[in-house]
Amino acid sequence: MGLIREISRNRSLYTLALPGLLFLLIFAYTPMFGHLIAFKKFNAIQGFWKSEWVGFKNFEFFFSTGEWLKVTWNTVLLNGLFIVFGLGLAVVMAILLNEIRIVLMKRIAQTVIFMPYFISWMVVSLMVYSLLNTKDGLLNRTLTSLGLDSVSWYNSPEYWPTILSLVYVWKMSGYFSIIFLAAIIRQKST
């Protein structure tokens, strides 16, 4: 009875909270059902609910192969590279932005470094493809025009930690630098 009284007394506040709660439910909690796919022999034709339940068999298969250590190591390595280089460059850029005294230059610099954040990952992947494509990618055309052999970037796993780190740093460090710049400005004002 107390809950109903509370809701009726503060009806306008709960009505204001409703869109946020619906957003949270739809985009944060509903996708969690997707984790059930790990316990199913998923078939796209049968769909999510009619696919056969296999329990831990998928995990047994994954851990029975020797690849799980490699997959885990790659995940830890890439995330470590993203954190170190992405946040490191963001802190440096925030400090440098803080040192710019001409307001117009500061705003232009912030805009330029923040723009890659607004490019979708799909567009970024197409940009990387046009840069690294074996046949007519910009880098391979440049290499062949210099008389060097083209590189098969997509078939060479040793290049990908560097490529992925560079792409992530280019896309995300501007966003993080603005956050760090806000923290620097806030700290200076107190």
95-140 pLDDT per residue, tens:
999 999 999 999 999 999 999 999 999 999 999 999 999 888 899 9
CATH number at residue 125: 1.10.3720.10
- 60 and 71 in a common domain: no
What is the share, in percent, of the chain residues with pLDDT greater than 90?
Answer: 71
- 39 and 51 in a common domain: yes
Q: Assign 154 a pLDDT band (cuts: 50, 70, 90).
A: confident
- Using the 3D structure, point to which of 25, 41, 64 is the last residue of a domain: 64
Q: What is the pTM of this model?
A: 0.71
- 88 and 44 in a common domain: no
Task: Give the pLDDT score at 164.
Answer: 93
- Using the 3D structure, point to which of 22, 47, 64 is the last residue of a domain: 64
Three-state secondary structure of the chain: CHHHHHHHHCHHHHHHHHHHHHHHHHHHHHHHHHHHHHHEECCCCCHHHHCEECCCHHHHHHHHCCHHHHHHHHHHHHHHHHHHHHHHHHHHHHHHHHHCCCHHHHHHHHHHHHHHHHCCHHHHHHHHHHHHCCCCCHHHHHHHHCCCCCCCHHHCHHHHHHHHHHHHHHHHHHHHHHHHHHHHHHHHHC
- 163 and 95 in a common domain: yes
Task: Give the pLDDT score at 47.
Answer: 86
Mean pLDDT of 61-83: 92
- 177 and 108 in a common domain: yes
Domains of the chain: total = 2
Task: Give the pLDDT score at 173.
Answer: 94
Task: Give the pLDDT score at 136.
Answer: 85
Task: Give the pLDDT score at 186.
Answer: 87
Task: Give the pLDDT score at 187.
Answer: 84
- Using the 3D structure, point to which of 12, 33, 64 is the last residue of a domain: 64
- 75 and 55 in a common domain: no
Residues spanned by the domain of 169: 67-190
- 184 and 122 in a common domain: yes
C-alpha distances in angstroms, 165 versus 4, 23, 31, 55, 176? 52, 32, 28, 35, 15
- 184 and 95 in a common domain: yes
C-alpha distances in angstroms, 179 versus 9, 78, 91, 169? 39, 22, 9, 15
Mean of the per-residue pLDDT values of the chain: 91
Q: Assign 48 a pLDDT band (cuts: 50, 70, 90).
A: confident
